[in-house]
Amino acid sequence: MEHEEKLINKDQEEEMEIYGYNFCRWKLALVLGGVLCTGGFLLLLLYWMPEWRVKATCRRAPLRGCQVVLLRTTDEFHSWFCARVRVVLSLGSSPLQTPAFVAEKMTNGIRDHSCPGASEESDRHRCSPGHLQEIRHFTHHSVKYFWDEGGQNFGSIKGLDESVSCSSIHHEHSTGLGKGIREYRKLFYGVNEIAVKVPSVFKLLIKEVLNPFYIFQLFSVILWTTDEYYYYALAIVIMSLVSIMSSLYTIRKQYMMLHDMVAAHSIVRVSVSAADRGLEEILSTDLVPGDVIVIPLNGMIMPCDAVLLSGTCIVNESMLTGESVPVTKTNLPHPTEDPQAPEAETYSPEGHRRHTLFCGTTVIQTRFYAAELVKAVVVRTGFSTSKGQLVRSILYPKPTDFKLYRDAYMFLLFLVGVAAVGFLYTVVNSILHKVPASIIIIESLDIITITVPPALPAAMTAGIVYAQRRLKKVGIFCISPQRINICGQLNLICFDKTGTLTEDGLDLWGIQRVENARFLLPQENAFSKLLVKSPFVACMAACHSLTKIEGVISGDPLDLKMFEATGWILEEATEEETTLHNRIMPTVVRPPKQLLPEPQPAANKDLELFELPATYEIGIVRQFPFSSALQRMCVVARALGQKKMDAYVKGAPEMVAGLCKLETVPADFERVLEEYTKQGLRVIAVAHRRLESRLTWHRVQNVAREAIETNMDFLGLIIMQNKLKQETPAVLEDLHKANIRTVMVTGDNLLTAVSVARDCGMIQPPDKEIPVKLAPENLEDLPVTKYHFAMSGKSFAVIQEHFQDLVPKLVLHGTVFARMAPDQKTQLVEALQNVDYYVGMCGDGANDCGALKRAHGGISLSELEASVASPFTSRTPSISCVPNLIREGRAALVTSFCVFKFMALYSIIQYLSVTLLYSMLSNLGDLQFLFIDLAVILVLVFTMSLNPAWKELVAQRPPAGLISGPLLCSVVSQILICFGFQTVGFLWVRQQPWYEPWTPHSDACRPSGAPGANASAHGNGTLHDEHNIRNYENTTLFFISCFQYLTVAVAFSKGKPFRQPCHKNYLFVLSVMVLYALTLFIMLHPIGAIDWALELVCVPFPWRVTMLIIVLLNGAVSILVENALLDTVLWKVLFRRDKQRDFRPPSSHPPQGPWQRCSLPALLGFRKAPPKAKYAHLAQELLVDPDWPPKPSTTTEARAPAQENGSCLVLSAT
């Protein structure tokens, strides 16, 4: 039981297994010895592997007394972390309890049993260790985890945001804290600061340099320096320094940007209401949960999460929601003042958003009454706040899981295996030839650096960097470059509706009033003298949360449009007026004078108030803000001169109609509503009620919302139009042509969302008529094979909770998800990922942050702070950025494949050349290596990555990983071709009649006894070639291999359908032509100085022509095999198989004919291969499932006319 596995953050996103360990002296001694023996390499290995580090230096121990904890995430990545357990001394074990004795100076030392600060003997006695207890904790990802004696486990401590009732916030936490209690709580919660420390350049440098690739480069540079290979070593050093500096600049810039984002409210002075001292000013860093802060009149940037106790605040929450719309926050209802408020209701920041001020949001202004201060209780501080959690998600992102990167590491391991074979071969061969030990060590290690190229990381990054630059040119900014490759695999895109597919603003389409339970004819606007005093227009003018900020009316765009449509004027009470009155009509709305009838002078001219009858004003007495859970808002208002007050409600038609008296709701209400929603119009219902005279101003302030919102009179409908963005249909059509699924995730009405989906082309029936209700029994005879699910957030929540097995089936055909809460959007993205979709998410930042972060490729159309967690941000608020991102992602992905294949071939070609030369105790020369590595390889790598993306999206997707049939066949075939031609050249040169083992006096360029000497052989007698570099085999392999590098670069530089053709990459074409010409010139027209520098020997001209023929044949075979055989036969065979595995709506699959069943895929054994992706496998199962789609019984379903076989059924679950 001691070593029982336990979990922390159970059932949460950051759930982890936790294990306890204690330091072990003999293990530490062994590790120290190992570090010394390995020259520090063991220390590096333990630095890279936290699990090994802990297990190598510690022994398992119970969690209760452990010194170190080892953590492992329970997600698919199983990442390991370790943390040191700290011990502090405290007067209590719970932060929210009040200890019997609270010292003015708290102990805050590690294992410090003294009481610093207690100078008096009495103080020492009072603060004796007997009063203190040890509190054990550790910190992981900026969150403190404390030991819980009751649960026998570590856990993160909570503030007032969990398990605290609303009544206790008013009764127990509204008086503020004393200094002692604040210091006591600060011991647990720490400093109230979202600390994003910008690491020093030195720290970042050390962390970057300790990357395994750079360590390998350092090893290579040391080895090459030992082997006197200075030039390339210097080149690698320079290239590594440039790469490190570029990486340091990018990382530091991101840290500084994040630091600046949170620094605005890091340290400010705030006024707190202290329990024992009244008001006092303290630093915001000293705030703890339970403190009562005073919100100043001119507002502030919130340094914490707090719940309002009194007054109201106008807040800009763009940092959280992405919507720069002022929101009105009201005080948390007091149970004693509000009889209907439940005493035991538990407070939660999300459930009581309308009463909570979130960290980082800006309080623009406050409203208070009768000189009452606007107060709020701190509920969360530091990284526990809403903004802290956002910053944590950026500081500690989840690892990127992409098959390409997994396969890349596997391929590197394969190259290491090849290097090991070469290593053993070199050692054995050298020992047999009695080569000195020092040379054996250098040459055998050198074969490793040849096989695993140190320049690989820089080469792989080049394509991503170029893609990032191209994205920046089209206004797409990226904070996670590795995600660009993943975007090349996206096959499903989720779109928000409002502001993404449709325009941000709403326009008033018209109004339709109700009189005597009958709908009147629709009217275009409400700006009319006839309607000025009607309850309908009064509701439009008064039922809103608009406010004036610096003289400008601000608020929800929907409210603003409705209010502007009335033409009324809004006036707010001044600061002086609010201090004189007690919550009396702070906001007044009135119609403009031109809408009012002309004032009639009274018969008695002596009356001064003869114009009063013509004055019409409505004062808003109390607001019940809009609630997404209730789907409505309500206000209580009073018209000037009226004794009774009025209640006005507006909201979702179904909800509002349910609050009204049945006799006031038209019988054709549902039919009229559906007629509007099927046109994609947004419909809002309004209702009115004349309140009883007993409800005075003071009683209205304390009355329950439910008591007001009942027995209403239905007034009619307000119809708003939300137009599609101009580019939306075309973009979605491009995505459909590319076999990319599109899904709508919105908070809007279900039928409206379905209508917009039809209009924009997500759902493509024969016509665009909204489906009508269908009786369940009719579904059995419905001749449809293509269908879409449309469901509301409520249905999605029920299915998620109670019918988990249905979720994969529903998301497979789900196209419209309406009334979705922000966390449900994230759950939907996860559900789609669970069936192996590569999911993209496009939203405007409002309530989409979680989904944007969770998706494989999240792109925000908002540049506000809320989008900072999104991997991509578009400067242009248009979904046209989505195809651009996918195209660039595909181009970058294919470029990564090309570069990786080329670098692999470069390593293998050089490995083959060196291995053949090692067989005769020879090698390539230093300048030969330098020419190949710098002049050929680096130039080709950095220019072949420049191909821009293809101009349009195609139906194919590039492979996701390197371990795939076409890519492996391509690499293996090129390796065999290169090996064959190198072997032919190596053996054939030895069969030439002029061949003899080369010596400094050899001269094969002239017949024996001919006078004179070739320029390249001049002075041969003075040459000393201790490494046996100069020989005929070396010269032959050097020229053949140089052309092989150029050939495979051309063969691997694929263009269509993912990149522009190779010939459009002018720098690459120029580089290849120049290198071809230069190598041909050196081979066919030898110059003594060049041959001497490259350590080449003179060979007869006929052999040079023979080498040219070998090179030309090699090039022809390589390009023929790569572009003709692999691309036209094997690639298409495998792609067709993958294409058939991908899910398409069943109606789009033509029946397979006999020729398909007997085609090459069948011959190659691919005919019955099961789909790899879960969604494709599931789609095949559902095709033969007689019970799918389910026959609705309690759901509402709708369909388009089904006269044709290709009709589209929309099943909507409400």
Pairing mode, strands 375-380 and 292-294:
antiparallel
Q: Which contacts qualify for 823-829: CB closer than 8 Å, 24 or more apart?
A: 823/850, 824/793, 824/796, 824/797, 825/494, 825/745, 825/850, 825/851, 826/850, 826/851, 826/854, 827/796, 827/800, 828/494, 828/743, 828/745, 828/796, 829/494, 829/854, 829/855
Q: Within 13 Å and on the Cβ side, how many CA atoms surround 1170?
A: 7
φ/ψ of residue 1130, rounded to 5: -65, -45
Q: Spell 278-308 as b/e; 16+ CB within 10 A means b.
A: eeeebebbbbbbbbbbbbeeebbbbbbbbbb
Structure tokens at 970: 């391509």
Structure tokens at 694: 């007993």
Would you state the structure tokens that stand for residue 500, as one six-digit string? 């993404």
The tokens describing 18, both together, are 């936790």
Which amino acid is residue 670, in one-letter code? E
Instruction: Name the residue among 821, 747, 826, 867 with its Cα closest to residue 322.
Output: 867
Judged by DSSP in three states, 363 sits in strand
Q: Catalytic site residue 286? A: no
DSSP helix/strand/coil, 531:
coil
- First vs last C-alpha separation in the chain: 49
> Is residue 1111 helix, strand or coil?
helix
Structure tokens at 158: 């909570």
Tokens 């309690």 locate to 1194
- Backbone conformation region of residue 63, classed left if phi is above 0, alpha if psi is from -120 to 50, else beta: alpha
Task: Determine phi and psi for 980, rounding to 5 degrees.
Answer: -60, -45
Joined tokens for residue 604? 């008695």
**763 CB contacts (<8 Å, ≥6 apart)?**
754, 757, 788, 815, 816, 1208, 1210
Cα separation, 850 vs 389, whole angstroms: 11
Q: Measure the CA–CA gap between 270 and 196, rounded to whole angstroms.
A: 21
Pairwise CA distance, residues 139 & 156, whole Å: 9
Separation of alpha carbons 453 and 445, rounded Å: 13
Residue 1160 phi/psi, 5-degree rounding, is -60, -40
Instruction: Fill in the DSSP letter of residue 785.
Output: S
Active-site residue (options: 161, 291, 446, 496) = 496
Backbone angles phi, psi at 354, to 5 degrees: -70, -10
Q: Write the DSSP symbol of residue 947.
A: P
What are the tokens at 79? 């990442």
> Could you tell me the sign of the dihedral formed by the alpha carbons of 552, 557, 560, 565, in that order?
positive
What torsion do the CA atoms of 899, 905, 910, 912 make, to the nearest 10 degrees? Answer: 170
Catalytic residues: 496
